[in-house]
Structure 1
């Protein structure tokens, strides 16, 4: 059964973080960090084992073909660890991009000095299965494909099941960056085939920043021995050490792990992936409907809106300033997110974290009041932005 703890107001008088992570956490998650843990101690090793077990359970891996490897650092650390560990040095990656995080994966490949090619769909549309299949048919050297599950720079929820079918029909392997989706959007290994995926503690599980995790087939983990370009980002070495000793190779974020376990327990109590995703979807629907009533327009068509974060065009009105809007929203208890688009001005409102639909109604009211304070009578975007959206979505 879902709990309502933490929905009425942020703990300790903090603003709500309407971002794709870090995000608003419960008081219980914060409180879990008040104790110190020894990284070598048996109690902490048991915590690490529990964390790995609970995360694997979210994938539906009943056959025990996968394992979970926590990695210190931000989510990007995990993406680099995954690419550097599972792609052979003579391999080649097809990077599927429709925003900043797909492009970042391509940048990682450049830093690694490993072969890659790119499908860049821009800000409005997802890569589709037929495009992936065509690219793989055209280039037999490609060994792996990396897809972003939810591209949070635009808010697109990419069709990873469709992409997976195209990848494996072509005899290649899929890697998934599910940073902002895992825990709320299903990524069941029985329904969507992939070799490895990565996510982070401070996303849909509603923990705090400090580590991410790789969930990969054991056969891929074994094959990754000696492949990594990096000492600290070697997924095989981290996995082998944890299997042998139960410990992290280097100092773990002990307090973050304790907080994450509390968040995992709350995730289970709420009803798991399905219930968490349903709450976020309701958050999105209530917020988007309210913002549209104010005149705001979403970057994406309805079909591709994710329940994670939504991008809105900035109003064309001469009095609108995003920085002023941001400050007014923060004064009312809501921290929103700047846009990451390259063509038009935008901002983003996250739907994830310790929030429910009542909070989202207050977000809309705060936006209405902020527009009034700015003397913005019309929140409609520039005509050119809508024309561009219509052209690219056609």
Structure 2
């Protein structure tokens, strides 16, 4: 294995989460220098960050611009919604998990119009459904799609959603928080008004900022829309273009780390190579955990290469808190489930990990089960029956 991968033997566990995630030593090392936020050197770093991200969005890049936003990914989602949806606008939110529902709640806070399509935990929204809703509700101005819903691990069909949205003459907003940098996202082909992502996802940087990539004409016309001083995409864009600076204190160390992460992303082969590694990580861990008796929440066709949700075993000997600690003791931090219907846990496939690490994850899970006295990791029959019924 490459020495650039973390080593639990040195006291650093692997983060099997959708971000924060395990990062390369080079990324960590980039944060060992301090930067002045107004300094020409840091302004050059900001320009570099913006231009390199734009280079990843396809042939339509000249019509778009990149606006970094301080804070977690949810800050960028709120900035996008508050800036691009006018006060009299209405958004069709396509939800099938916690992050779609969070976007809906954000719109309620903002006082924007909302039409919520909640598909539950198992299924994606489909293009035909979107087309039907848009035809029946002419007040809808925008559609918000979550590229990969990490509460369940479902990969949503953004292409058919985009086609239905464009055909109806509405504007598409995408939360690509955990997908951009690995999964394809051609903004022009999708007729995308704006999308958001974060530093600490598939680019494999560290937390501290997200970014909005949007059409320049949409940014220009967003002046005065925002409910927030700090989350005003137009104001941030205008200031960056005039001065090269962030309006408020930037996460300088995170930016330095992100630029190094972009170097590694490019050296690996960009998004296609990263997608191939993450997909292999998923395949190895799914096959291995199924071999122990675990089962995935989702049918295979909807499994993303970002994170996979597994049912908790039915065995009374299984206790998630102990399972978590046993996995942590072997160098792996896993994620609890975010589902309301059934007990579950999640294994992230992204970050500085390869298939050898995932084989070790499977081995660690087998050891944890044996320590708890769990003879079968099979989920409740009712959970499998529900999945089968909904996937039909």
Counterpart contact for 1:69–1:215, Cα < 8 Å: yes
- Of residues 2, 5, 9 in structure 1, which corresponds to 2:7? 9
Per the TM alignment, residue 191 of structure 1 is displaced from its structure 2 partner at its CA by 2.9
2: CA distance, partners of 1:338 / 1:323: 9
Show the counterpart of 2:55.
57
Relative distance call for 1:20 and 1:332 in structure 2 (3 A) is same
Counterpart contact for 2:6–2:25, Cα < 8 Å: no
User: Within 5 A, what are the aligned runs for 1:344-383?
Assistant: 344-383=342-381
2: CA distance, partners of 1:67 / 1:20: 26
Show the counterpart of 1:85.
83
Per the TM alignment, residue 9 of structure 1 is displaced from its structure 2 partner at its CA by 2.0
Show the counterpart of 2:280.
282
Show the counterpart of 2:336.
338
Relative distance call for 1:328 and 1:307 in structure 2 (3 A) is same
- Of residues 126, 129, 133 in structure 1, which corresponds to 2:127? 129
For structure 2, the residue ranges without an aligned partner over 5 or more in a row are: none
1:320 aligns with 2:318: yes
2: CA distance, partners of 1:301 / 1:190: 30
Per the TM alignment, residue 11 of structure 1 is displaced from its structure 2 partner at its CA by 8.8
1:217 aligns with 2:199: no
Counterpart contact for 2:6–2:12, Cα < 8 Å: no
1:107 aligns with 2:139: no
2: CA distance, partners of 1:210 / 1:8: 21
RMSD (Å), alpha carbons: 1.1
For structure 1, the residue ranges without an aligned partner over 5 or more in a row are: none
2: CA distance, partners of 1:236 / 1:8: 39
Show the counterpart of 2:302.
304
1: CA distance, partners of 2:305 / 2:10: 27
2: CA distance, partners of 1:12 / 1:387: 43
Per the TM alignment, residue 63 of structure 1 is displaced from its structure 2 partner at its CA by 5.2
Runs of 4+ in 1 over 6 A off after TM superposition: none
2: CA distance, partners of 1:92 / 1:384: 38
User: Within 5 A, what are the aligned runs for 1:137-148?
Assistant: 137-148=135-146
Counterpart contact for 2:6–2:24, Cα < 8 Å: no
Show the counterpart of 1:200.
198
Per the TM alignment, residue 209 of structure 1 is displaced from its structure 2 partner at its CA by 0.3
Per the TM alignment, residue 61 of structure 1 is displaced from its structure 2 partner at its CA by 3.8
Per the TM alignment, residue 60 of structure 1 is displaced from its structure 2 partner at its CA by 1.3
1: CA distance, partners of 2:359 / 2:65: 40
Per the TM alignment, residue 13 of structure 1 is displaced from its structure 2 partner at its CA by 2.5
2: CA distance, partners of 1:62 / 1:348: 35
Q: TM-score, normalised by structure 1?
A: 0.98
